[in-house]
Structure 1
């Protein structure tokens, strides 16, 4: 029958047999053939239907801003738990007290520590003012010494001028005496000569000799007087040097005392600043005994329990969920799909526990999905081997449910280019990635065409 026998090579013709012909001409077989042909035509037509390529991801519901996510409240200082003011589930406003702790470090156990430190600050400030007054007094003293030195120098200068004038006067007197001596000697010689000639008596010669001796004696006195005047000039000049040295020493000592006072003043000011810093730290530390809520929200969980428990700095006290927040979805995509995701890309999202019917290739036929857009893409791979993408609601397009809770599961589909079904089947069979296109470039192109 299959013409494979080696002994019989006769070709069998089905039309020669009436049974085969009668069976082939039955009407229901014609209907079946038409159905099969129609179905094949339908399948071929479906291959040319549009198909929206997409990238799927899974994640959970979170908040858009970091300060709107659940956070833990920590203590800034070590202490002992004395009193709780809240319980789990309570709503607290920003600044409400959560727990009160007491001091455990011995450096801060003094109940009057802040007041004592304040008194030390005030005392040091008074010391700074005292040193300032001392510096001003030394400035006045230095000015007085400068004035006194100027007066003493003027006095010494006047003495020098007086000595110079006296020297000049004594020099003139000495010259006059020398002239008188020459006259007396001339008169004595003339009287002696006339006496020898008998024209003058001996008494006149004796008078002239006496006058000559007096002139000689007076010139010696005048020379001594001139030397005394010169000595007075030298003494006046020495006095100027003495006054200059004396008052320089006094002024230098005054300046040294001033600089010492300034150094002590600056050192005291540094101590004041240090004590002021300690005082501020102690006062702020007293405010840290009451641990308050950083923002309004609900107390999710108390991480510590009981009273009298000693805790260290930075210990987690409670967990708070902010009362108001902007919801978002964090989803994870495979590394091969990361280049196809960009900020502003349109995404469809649906949530666990909410009814939905999803046709990934035909987003317009899906039910229960919500519109979103990509707002952030993490550039470092996560611990699960995928990249994190943050999605926010996309305007008024089917607003996200208000009843969503943080941490609920969510699924997402990032919409890519629209292609034919046959192309998508061919792409998957060959293992090719979806087509990449940039919506920003497409909008820029459309803008250029409009221009």
Structure 2
């Protein structure tokens, strides 16, 4: 059972009767501490309502604005053996200055007269092309002569056919005339015989008529032979046309075949000429590649190859060069969470490693040693470090960046966003919300334009 009766209670004496307790209550510094705590609390509460500029911080390094102005390595296009260096580290070179000389190591290019021999071969092939061209022209003239001769021969043969045809007609008419004479002679002979029987004509007259009749018979046979001969000549004239056509077609075909062969050889030789000229140009260019030259004016930072007599392959880096003229910029990396809040043309504050700087990220107006920048490029693919790369150029409306900056030195960036109370920024940070994106007033921008 619980001992809760009044008789069992222990009476406790009050502490106020002790002097130590009385002294503690009378000490004045407790009141001062309470006032300080109260004052700090009031100041803290007031500070929560002070303005705070939201920002996106990033880190990166100094680089150049254009890719052609960044440090680069000079590479060899062909393989070779190092023979002589013309520069040393730290030297300034102009564009086109010789940096290194290499010699040939491939057996296909060891001939010192390779370019000259290739040029001679190309010239010889060009003469062959001209010879084939002359042969083609000659064959063209020959073909024209054959065609012209063929035309004349055919015309001659046609004329001969006409002559033969006319001769056939003439002989036919002569045959008809002889037949008429035969008929007359036969009639006269019969009449003479009849008159001789009647005693009106002598026998000699009959013999004369018989002789004349025989002569006319002989003429008929002769005339028939003539007309057959004329017909044969007419047929031979027709055959001659076919023979002439076949003969000159064969000659023309052979000449055209020779012409096509010459053309084929000409085109083949022209292809060989083009190939040799290509080789000649390639060999000439290759001879110029033995001297490795500076692609632009700058300083030789480091020789990546050393010594003499060493062999190098195609694409081997020879030396590093830093351009003498460049437009400075800063490449910075931001978190993927902050990427949607960044766009081209936004203003950014930049401060550099080794440069005196006092930075208040929430109060940019109170910062010292920062420089103005402007975002000119945003990378759309994440980098190896898990962040997105942005490129920042100097702001032309603010002070110029220091000339003492070196390419590759560290840099920090702050992209300014909206201005909010401190309590809101603390609440946003604890809640994990993104910053407020600052949007410019469209009406004001239109009025400015």
Residue 50 (1) aligns with residue 48 (2): no
Deviation sequence 1:276-311 (CA, Å, 0-9, x none): 011111111111111111111111111111111111
Task: Note the alpha carbon deviations across 1:400-425, whole angstroms, 9 max, x for none.
Answer: 11110011011111111222222212
The separation in 2 between residues aligned to 1:417 and 1:186, in whole angstroms, is: 149
Aligned residue for 1:279? Answer: 280
Secondary structure of the residue aligned to 1:399 is coil
Deviations 1:200-235 (A, max 9, x none): 333323322222222122111111101111111111
The residue that corresponds to 2:17 in the other structure is none
Provide, for residues 67-124 of structure 1, a one-character-per-residue CA deviation record: whole Å limited to 9, x for no partner.
Answer: 1111111111111111111111111111111111111111111111111111111111
Distance change (3 Å), C-alpha of 1:6 and 1:90: farther
In 2 relative to 1, CA 355–449 (structure 1 residues): closer, same or farther, beyond 3 Å? same
Match of 1:123 in 2: 124
Q: Name the structure 1 match of 2:369.
A: 368
User: What residue in structure 2 maps to residue 113 of structure 1?
Assistant: 114
CA distance in 1, matches of 2:394, 2:102: 43
**Aligned equivalents of 1:37, 1:313: Cα separation in 2:** 77
Q: Does 1:150 align with 2:151?
A: yes
Return closer, same or farther for 1:231/1:437 CA change in 2, 3 Å cut-off: farther
1:368-388 Cα offsets, whole Å, 9 max, x none, are 111111111111111111111
Is 307-316 or 422-431 further displaced after alignment? 422-431
Measured in 2, the distance between the counterparts of 1:109 and 1:98 equals: 23
Matched, 1:391 2:396: no
1:14-413 alignment runs, 5 A limit? 39-413=40-414
Cα 1:295–1:448 shift into 2, 3 Å: closer
Q: TM-score, normalised by structure 2?
A: 0.91
In the TM superposition, what is the alpha-carbon distance from 1:237 to its structure 2 partner?
Answer: 1.2
2:420 corresponds in structure 1 to: 419
Counterparts of 2:444 and 2:213 in 1: how far apart (Å)?
A: 138
Q: Secondary structure at the match of 1:259?
A: helix
Q: Distance in 2 between matches of 1:258 and 1:335?
A: 75
Q: Report the CA distance shift for 1:268/1:396 in structure 2 as closer, same or farther (over 3 A).
A: same
1:26–1:398 distance in 2 versus 1, CA, 3 Å: same
Supply the distance in 1 between the matched residues of 2:314 and 2:401 (Cα, whole angstroms): 41
Matched, 1:446 2:444: yes
Aligned pair in 2 of structure 1 residues 204, 259: CA closer, same or farther (>3 Å)?
A: same
Q: CA RMSD in A?
A: 2.5
1:303-334 per-position Cα deviation (integer Å, ceiling 9, x unaligned): 11111111111111111111111111111111
Of 189-198 and 96-105, deviating more is 189-198
Moved more, 240-249 or 412-421: 412-421
SS across alignment from 1:335: coil
Deviation at 1:30, TM superposition (A): 7.9
Deviation at 1:245, TM superposition (A): 0.8
In structure 1, runs of 5+ residues without a counterpart are 9-19
Query: Counterparts of 1:200 and 1:134 in 2: how far apart (Å)?
Result: 87
Aligned to 1:319, what secondary structure does the other structure show?
strand
Change (3 A) 1:292 1:340: same
Whole-Å separation in 1 of the counterparts to 2:436 and 2:420: 9
- Pair 1:445–1:21, CA change in 2 (3 A): farther
Cα distance in structure 1, aligned partners of 2:219 and 2:347: 131
Do the aligned partners of residues 28 and 107 (structure 1) sit closer, same or farther apart at CA in structure 2, a change above 3 Å counting? closer
Residue matched to 1:15: none
Paired with 1:6 and 1:216, the residues of 2 have a C-alpha distance of 197
Farther-moved stretch of structure 1 (205-214 vs 48-57): 205-214
- Report the CA distance between 1:127 and its aligned residue: 0.8
Which residue does the alignment assign to 1:11? none
1:340-399: per-residue Cα shift (whole Å, max 9, x none)?
A: 111111111111101111111111111111111111111111111111111111114121
Change in 2 beyond 3 A, CA 1:224/1:406:
same
Aligned length: 434
TM-score, normalised via structure 1 length: 0.90
Three-state SS of the structure 1 residue aligned to 2:356 is coil
SS of residue matched to 1:294: coil
Greater CA drift, 312-321 or 26-35: 26-35
Q: Gapped runs of 5+ residues in structure 2?
A: 10-20
Question: Matched residues in 2 for 1:164 and 1:244: separation?
Answer: 21
> What SS does structure 1 have at the residue aligned with 2:390?
strand
**CA-to-partner distance for each residue in 1:183-211, whole Å, 9 max, x for gaps?**
11222222233333333333323322222
The structural deviation recorded for 1:31 is 7.6
